[in-house]
């Protein structure tokens, strides 16, 4: 049925072609073999193709979809996650041909979109924040094509882009809060750490959510406040740096539970190394289930499946029911129904919807696993939000303060989307300032 063909990636293609170009002379020897191979490599890869007959659904025409990725799909991180979502949606939709271009530098998004349009794609999905303006421009240029941009704020629905452009994001802060509960439940030192990619609102609210969860659990467990440390990589994919940063948090600050925003399992692997040496250090999955990289050190972690979001857009396009939307998918979204489950039937740690928890480690004491499950289930029905006094303080009294002691969220308040979307302050328990 589906036939996946992997060919040489664009980056590799460019790398090798440049090599051939510069060493025009150099090429004599190498190029014979290499360029012969490359000559038949198209830049846009056709990845799925419907071969067998799929019963034609009335009014549902076959569609072509193009994806633009910022990184290589072969790694473990962000683009890999989107490619997994693409395959998930393709598998279920069946009557679709999808294409992708990987490792596209952000300024080159328009030419990437153009080559996908030339391939006949009518739905184009761009998956990096930096692609936002280029995507909006292309949406203006191709009014009869449909565009979805991931992780930005421009869409027809928001009123700052053409109507044929939608925005979507799978949001993690709730899951980071649950990771925080696990951290607060298991830390022995009372000090936890975070390896951050960039000090941008998305990462900042994930850090804050994680620390708030840890403070809640640790305070309830011991009556003391949690201490937290953050280091910054200024990179999304940097396993060597993440490794050094994680060791610094452990060795210098005595952190024993580390969370992170970095596209590889490097931090989890460091925690596993320490476990092997007999020091109890714990960490999490990030974007996909990474248990294999830290079987002992793994607690749980935020996981995303972009597939349901993509499938939704496939349907809209194929049934001619497009409407520009601005999707911010959280726990409970893209599930058959929004209803919390009783503890014994909780689906925390199982795959569902677009954002869910990686399997929960049995090392977390039972009462805390139950709390994680309870909160997860309550979030499905909007009964619980991390950025509230109830999420921060077990007694439900202490407001959420920033590092300067200013009250940011008081009793009865709940951070709204605008607050979360533009968060530029760290909670009081973190010792390092937020880089400006």
H-helix or E-strand containing 326? strand 326-329
Closer CB to another protein, residue 290 or residue 400?
A: 290
Residue 228 in contact with another protein, rule: CB under 8 A? no
Cβ atoms < 10 Å from Cβ of 279: 12
Closest CA relative to residue 66, chosen from 50, 91, 90? 90
What sign has the CA pseudo-torsion 339, 342, 347, 348?
positive
Residue 249 in contact with another protein, rule: CB under 8 A? yes
Closer CB to another protein, residue 108 or residue 241?
A: 241
Closer CB to another protein, residue 203 or residue 420?
A: 203
Residue 22 in contact with another protein, rule: CB under 8 A? yes
Closer CB to another protein, residue 214 or residue 255?
A: 255
Nearest approach, Cβ of 268 to another protein (angstroms)? 10
Closer CB to another protein, residue 234 or residue 382?
A: 234
Residue 26 in contact with another protein, rule: CB under 8 A? yes
In order of 233, 337, 339, the CA distances from 380 in angstroms are 33, 9, 6
Residue 390 in contact with another protein, rule: CB under 8 A? no
Closest CA relative to residue 352, chosen from 334, 338, 337? 334
# of chain residues touching another protein (CB under 8 A): 52
Residue 424 in contact with another protein, rule: CB under 8 A? no
Return d(Cα 412, Cα 222) in angstroms, integer: 25
**Token reading at 171:** 């949001």
Report DSSP state, residue 408.
E
DSSP string, 275-293: HHTT---BB--BBB--GGG
Residue 432 in contact with another protein, rule: CB under 8 A? yes
Nearest approach, Cβ of 246 to another protein (angstroms)? 9
Residue 9 in contact with another protein, rule: CB under 8 A? yes
Cβ atoms < 10 Å from Cβ of 278: 6
Torsion angles phi and psi, residue 292, rounded to 5 = -60, -25
Return d(Cα 345, Cα 51) in angstroms, integer: 40
Q: Looking at 1-9, 218-226, 313-321, 353-361, which segment touches another protein (CB under 8 A)?
A: 1-9
Closer CB to another protein, residue 168 or residue 266?
A: 266
Nearest approach, Cβ of 71 to another protein (angstroms)? 8
Interface residues with another protein (CB under 8 A) are 6, 8-9, 11-16, 18-20, 22-23, 25-26, 29-30, 34, 72, 74-76, 229, 231-234, 237-241, 243-245, 247-249, 251-253, 264-266, 269, 292-293, 432-433, 435-436
């Amino acid at each position: 049925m589906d036939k996946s063909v992997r060919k040489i990636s664009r980056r590799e293609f460019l790398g090798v072609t440049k090599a051939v170009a510069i060493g025009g002379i150099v090429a004599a020897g190498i190029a014979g073999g290499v360029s012969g191979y490359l000559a038949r490599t198209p830049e846009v890869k056709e990845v799925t193709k419907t071969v067998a007959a799929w019963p034609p659904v009335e009014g549902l025409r076959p569609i072509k979809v193009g994806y633009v990725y910022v990184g290589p799909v072969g790694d473990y991180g962000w683009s890999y996650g989107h490619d997994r979502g693409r395959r998930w949606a393709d598998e279920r939709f069946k009557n679709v041909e999808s294409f992708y271009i990987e490792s596209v530098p952000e300024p080159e998004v328009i030419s990437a979109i153009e080559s996908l349009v030339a391939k006949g794609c009518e739905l184009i999905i761009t998956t990096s924040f930096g692609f936002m303006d280029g995507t909006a421009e292309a949406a203006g240029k191709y009014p009869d094509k449909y565009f979805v941009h991931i992780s930005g704020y421009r869409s027809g629905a928001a009123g700052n882009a053409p109507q044929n452009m939608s925005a979507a994001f799978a949001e993690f802060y709730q899951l980071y809060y649950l990771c925080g509960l696990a951290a607060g439940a298991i830390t022995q030192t009372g000090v936890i750490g975070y390896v951050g990619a960039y000090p941008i609102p998305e990462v900042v609210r994930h850090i804050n959510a994680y620390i708030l969860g840890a403070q809640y659990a640790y305070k309830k467990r011991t009556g003391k406040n949690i201490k937290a440390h953050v280091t910054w990589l200024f990179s999304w994919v940097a396993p060597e740096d993440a490794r050094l940063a994680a060791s610094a948090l452990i060795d210098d600050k005595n952190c024993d539970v580390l969370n992170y925003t970095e596209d590889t399992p490097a931090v989890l692997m460091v925690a596993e190394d320490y476990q092997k040496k007999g020091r109890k250090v714990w960490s999490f999955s990030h974007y996909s289930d990474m248990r294999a990289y830290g079987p002992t050190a793994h607690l749980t972690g935020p996981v995303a499946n972009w597939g349901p979001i993509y499938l939704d857009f496939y349907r809209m396009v194929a049934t001619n029911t497009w409407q520009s939307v601005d999707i911010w998918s959280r726990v409970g979204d893209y599930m058959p129904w929004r209803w919390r489950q009783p503890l014994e039937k909780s689906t925390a740690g199982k795959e569902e919807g677009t954002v869910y928890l990686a399997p929960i480690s049995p090392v977390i004491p039972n009462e805390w696993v139950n709390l994680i499950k309870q909160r997860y289930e309550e979030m499905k029905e909007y009964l619980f939000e991390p950025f509230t006094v109830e999420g921060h303080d077990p007694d439900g009294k202490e407001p959420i303060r920033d590092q300067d002691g200013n009250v940011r969220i008081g009793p009865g308040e709940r951070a709204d989307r605008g607050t979360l979307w533009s968060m530029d302050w760290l909670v009081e328990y973190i010792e390092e300032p937020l880089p400006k």
